[in-house]
Structure 1
Amino acid sequence: MLSRRTFAACALCAAAGFLATGVEAQTPGFKRTLLKQTDGPVDGYTTIEMRVEIDPNATVARHTHPGIETGYVAEGGIELTIDGQGTFKLGPGDGFQVPTGTPHGGPNGPAKSVVISTYVVEKGKPLASPA
């Protein structure tokens, strides 16, 4: 029998299915986990909260988002290059923002990193696309 909890988890996974993109496929050791998704802040957009885990010494392929990304490094350390802004060495407690459609990516440090990211993106578009 399918419990409500199992059904809710399956529904959440199905709703987030569009989030699996070429970026994750291109980046071994990179995993996004959906925390919460809500409509808005305006029509045609959705707000997505994700836990992003990056294995030691993995490199996140350059990619873009169809909206703004705001992130917070919870664990580890990353080197993030954002086109037009430069390269940043970020550690626990550091935050960053990536403008809509701006290519970004970079290598992780020697320890596993965890980043909490919030995306405000256009509905119906992939969360990320290779750049």
Structure 2
Amino acid sequence: MKMTRILAVSLLIAVNGLLLPTAQAQTPGVHRTDLVQRELSVPGREGVQVRVDFDPGAFAPKHSHPGEEIAYVLQGTLEYQLDDKPPVTLKAGDSLFIPAGSAHSARNVGSGKASELATYIVRKGVPLAVPARQSGSATAE
């Protein structure tokens, strides 16, 4: 009986980890294109690069990552909200460093489409994104 519970919980965690990136990709108006995912020379870390396209007015709700993110705006205007800090607005050519575990969101505040190139240095083998808790706190590294 105890082994059955352990297997059930393990399966639930594994399935949740597989579905989480898909759930984020299905945020209305936000489209992710995975570009690169490679193991780094730092043990237990990998580099991941993703293009994220935002339809006009699209919003990616607060979430965090198991490592650092560098967001580079390719086109349009995006507003980022990190933790409880004032929002930051970036235009094409601007970039932003997002610390590990920082709960953040992004919104297209321009008049057309917007795109970012997101580069992550994260722990290998864990979900890339974790939805922020109701209180707004993030899952720390």
- TM class, shorter-length: 0.7 to 0.9
- Scaled by the length of structure 2, the TM-score of the pair is 0.74
Are 1:22 and 1:128, in contact at CA under 8 Å, matched by a contact in 2? no
Q: Residue in 1 aligned with 2:118?
A: 117
Q: Residue in 2 aligned with 1:4?
A: none
Specify the code of the residue in structure 1 equivalent to 2:42.
V
* Structure 1 residue 85, shift from structure 2 partner: 4.1
C-alpha distance in structure 2 between counterparts of 1:108 and 1:33, whole Å: 17
State the 4+ residue runs in structure 1 displaced beyond 6 angstroms: none
Unaligned runs of 5+ in 1: 1-16
Moved more, 55-64 or 33-42: 33-42
Unaligned runs of 5+ in 2: 1-17, 133-141
Partner secondary structure for residue 46 of structure 2: strand
Change (3 A) 1:42 1:18: farther
Q: Residue in 2 aligned with 1:63?
A: 63
C-alpha distance in structure 2 between counterparts of 1:74 and 1:18, whole Å: 27
Q: Residue in 2 aligned with 1:22?
A: 23
User: Is 1:98 the counterpart of 2:98 in the alignment?
Assistant: yes
Q: Residue in 2 aligned with 1:88?
A: 88
C-alpha distance in structure 1 between counterparts of 2:118 and 2:70, whole Å: 6
Are 2:75 and 2:113, in contact at CA under 8 Å, matched by a contact in 1? yes
* Structure 1 residue 37, shift from structure 2 partner: 1.5
In the TM superposition, 1:27-66 aligns within 5 A as 27-66=27-66
Change (3 A) 1:59 1:36: same
Specify the code of the residue in structure 2 equivalent to 1:101.
G
Larger radius of gyration: 2
Q: Deviations over 1:16-64 (max 9, x none)?
A: x677243334x21112111111111411110011111111101111100
Q: Residue in 1 aligned with 2:14?
A: none
Q: Residue in 1 aligned with 2:130?
A: 129
Once superposed, what is the RMSD of the aligned Cα atoms? 1.7
Specify the code of the residue in structure 2 equivalent to 1:127.
L
Identity of matched residues, %: 39
